[in-house]
Chains A and B, each alone.
Chain A
Amino acid sequence: METGFRRLSVAVLLCVSAAAALAQDSDDPLGELISPDLERREIREAQIDSENIEITAYLGGVMNVEDFGSNPLYGGALAYHISEDLFMEAAYGKTELGESSFERLSGAAPLLTDEQRQLSYYDLSLAWNLFPGEYFLFDKWALNSSLYLIGGVGNTSFADEEHFTYNIGAGVRVLTTDWLAFRLDVRDRIFEHEIFGEAQNTNNLSTQLGVSIYF
């Protein structure tokens, strides 16, 4: 009798608990076995300014245009620093063409008008900070610096014509502070023109000293 009652009560208990488990199953599979008392880790983003843009003004420069002599160069550049190794740069420059040796020697009428002798260029380049390091000035100063290789494409405009231009070069940047740097840059701009009658590929070298500010 007693065992029968015990069996019944166990069966009832099982049924009830199974029903309860089923009922719980429908809304929360884990029931109260695992309570979600884990605290979520708090992560916040740092409030911090970025200084990846560098604006450069040429303090002085000289550009040689093949057959047309060397003349002062004016201009500037805007760079975006992608990583410590790479930066991209858009540059603009202006110079004027001198007299070509043909014009000087032949004594003929000038090939170009004064307006046509105004040369301007712009280009888009990618540069690689190949040798970062320090320059030492006497005992007192160690200046951060880098030597970079740069190359890109652009457009040179003179003599009422546009000339597609490739540029390659190298430069040195010396930082006096975190935000002020001096740059000495040598560039070869390669383009083709037809001023002397037939298409001629020219290498036009320029050197410029610039001061740049990071912001």
Chain B
Amino acid sequence: MNRLAAKFRRSRQLFCGAMAALLIAASAQAAEPQARPAHVPAGTEQVTVGSPYIDMHTGPGRGYPVFHVAEHGETLWLLKRRTDWVKVTLRRGQTGWVRIIDLNEIYGADGEQVQVRLPDFRDIESRHFHLGFAYGDFDGADSMGVSLGYRFTRNLSAELRATQAVGAFSDSQTYQLAVLHQPFPHWRLSPYFMLGTGLNITAPNATIVATEDRRDTAMLTGVGVKTYLSRRFALRAEVANHYLLTSRENNQEIVEWKLGFDVYL
């Protein structure tokens, strides 16, 4: 009887040991990085939700409804981003869009915090490209312009600019490279000074006089002011002086006024 009891006790110990071993093995498996499901492309960023929950919308905008909620501790794969939204997918295939600001607590495989950067004009230390459209007055003619800039220090930016002006007597195109200096980049209404050089092409209207197009090198000086309306959208106003080095007897000066916007790329 005693032997039987001892045998039973031993077998119970064995069983408990085996169970414990199994449990340990299972928990070790859970701690390892999770295998990628078939619907997630290779190389996709995998993160774990650290905040209590994240709303998933059907599209990248506030107008598209929330259809699912990713929970704390759940694994997310970040597929792509559009404006301030990221498309994410979960293990079981639910795929939707989340706001970048809701992704402020996500962690990578090694427990490091993962950040999705939001571009911001207020971040004056960041180097970035910006693209702008402008409307203006070019010596009495209506003008439209496009500019592509790069900010390489907190004060200095370089800009490529193209303008088309249509006037009553002549049409012009200008192409310029300019350097902009912002002495107070952290001001909400930040002034800037501009120096540049480029090419002005002037085509007098054929109905008035029959002349050829003129191509003149131009020196550009200007002052302006920038103000951001949102993180990625800034308004700017500018007045510039084009000094045309002509082959005629006198050089020509043209004053241009512009109102436009810049977008942080």
Contact = CB atoms under 8 A, between A and B. Distances in A.
A and B interact physically: yes
Interface of A: 41-52, 80-84, 86, 88, 90, 123-126, 129, 131-134, 142, 144, 146, 152-155, 160-164, 175, 178, 194, 214
A83 B233 CA distance: 9
Interface of B: 45, 47, 58-65, 78-87, 108, 110, 112-117, 131, 133, 135, 141-142, 144, 146, 164, 166, 171, 205-207, 230, 232-233, 261, 263, 265
Contacts of B61: 84, 129, 132, 144, 146
A82 B110 CA distance: 33
Contact of B144 (A49, A81, A129, A154): A154
Given A44-B112, A51-B80, A51-B81, A178 B87 contact: yes
Contact of A46 (B47, B207, B265): B47
Contacts of A45: 114-117
A134 B78 contact: no
B84 A46 contact: no
A48 B98 CA distance: 14
Contacts of B115: 43-46
Contacts of A164: 141-142, 144, 166
Contact of A175 (B59, B108, B113): B59
Nearest to A42: B112
Contacts of A123: 144
A126 B81 contact: no
Nearest to A130: B63
Given A132-B61, A144-B64, A48 B80 contact: yes
19 contacts: A45-B115, A45-B117, A46-B116, A47-B45, A50-B81, A51-B82, A52-B83, A80-B263, A83-B84, A88-B263, A123-B144, A125-B133, A132-B63, A146-B63, A154-B144, A155-B166, A162-B164, A178-B87, A214-B82
Contacts of A131: 63
B233 A48 contact: no
Given A51-B81, A82-B83, A46 B45 contact: yes
Contacts of B265: 80
Contact of A132 (B64, B116, B164): B64
Contacts of A129: 61
Contacts of B85: 84
A155 B171 CA distance: 11
Nearest to B167: A164
Contacts of A162: 164, 166, 171
A102 B177 CA distance: 47
Contact of B83 (A81, A133, A153, A175): A81
B237 to A, nearest CB: 16
A49 B43 CA distance: 12
A128 to B, nearest CB: 11
Per CB-CB distance, the 7 closest pairs between chain A and chain B, nearest first, are A132-B63, A144-B59, A164-B166, A42-B112, A164-B142, A84-B61, A124-B133
